[in-house]
Amino acid sequence: MPTFEFDQPLCWAHRGFSAKYPENTLAAFQAALDAGAEGIELDVTLTRDGQLVVIHDETLERTTSGTGSVSALDLAELRTLDAGIWFGPEFAGQRLPLLTEVLDMVGGKMLVNIEIKPEAAHVPAEVPVERQVLDLIRERGLLDSVLVSSFDYMILIRLRGLDEDLRLGLLVTGEEENIDFRALVQAIDAFSFHIRAAELIPDVVDLLHEDGVRVFCWTESYDDEALAMAQILEMGADGFFANDVDAFLTRCAEALA
């Protein structure tokens, strides 16, 4: 069983091995496992009928053959869409996975960072999104290898109220105003702080490490990922959400040589 006891930077496969496979698909997650990533990061939201589906965007156009809002369709309708052909014809037939499918495939084999999308909190559901996510983690005995993150701080606060042991990650862009991130991390007893690599500074790493908090970094699509990798490793960050898994693993190996 993978654990969060590590002494070198973690390679989180960002939406799976998304540099070479269609993001947030089973193909991308399997490729990340095969490539040797320590963990995967995925995005989860709710369908109209309250099911946990894995997709990054609030709408369907960019990564599927569908249109409109994810939450406007039931799971059965969403499962008819192609989530792979946009990336390349060889990936035609990939479907939007359920969170259960991803956990069944990689749970216990690698770490999993489940990012709950803010819009999921506003989809009417008999069971709130954070409760559903927590229940799945507990049912599969994955509390020791799963991290839940979100840009919606209230989702994290509610999760902390539900479980004092669940690892939580506070997600920020680094451009928010009038927010004391260190105080918020402490208030929710977060395990980790997730910030855009371009906004990271050494003082942030040092302060959070003093508090025993891990620092993980991510990039926007327009960022120079290779440059970001070098910068965050130099500053002592604890991990990186890599689109190119091979590149980050190679850079880490070189840094440790």
* Residue 36 Rama label (left phi>0; alpha psi -120 to 50; beta): left
Whole-number pLDDT of residue 179: 87
The pTM score is: 0.98
Whole-number pLDDT of residue 63: 98
Q: Which residues of the chain have pLDDT under 70?
A: none
Say whether 14 is catalytic.
yes
The domain that holds 136 is classified in CATH as 3.20.20.190
In a domain, 172, yes or no: yes
In a domain, 237, yes or no: yes
If one counts the domains in the chain, the total is 1
Q: Which of 14, 122, 194, 209 is catalytic?
A: 14
Picking from 229, 205, 199, the residue whose alpha carbon sits closest to that of residue 14 is 229
Q: Which of 56, 122, 194, 209 is catalytic?
A: 56
Q: How many residues does the structure list for the chain?
A: 257
Name the amino acid, one letter, at 217. Answer: C
Whole-number pLDDT of residue 255: 83
In a domain, 5, yes or no: no
Whole-number pLDDT of residue 58: 98
61, β-bridge pairs: none
CB 75 within 8 A of CB 49: yes
Provide the residue range defining the domain that includes 159.
10-256
Percent of the chain surpassing pLDDT 70: 100
In a domain, 92, yes or no: yes
Whole-number pLDDT of residue 108: 96
In a domain, 212, yes or no: yes
In a domain, 36, yes or no: yes
In a domain, 1, yes or no: no
- C-alpha 234/C-alpha 217 separation (Å) is 13
Whole-number pLDDT of residue 190: 98
In a domain, 2, yes or no: no
Say whether 194 is catalytic.
no
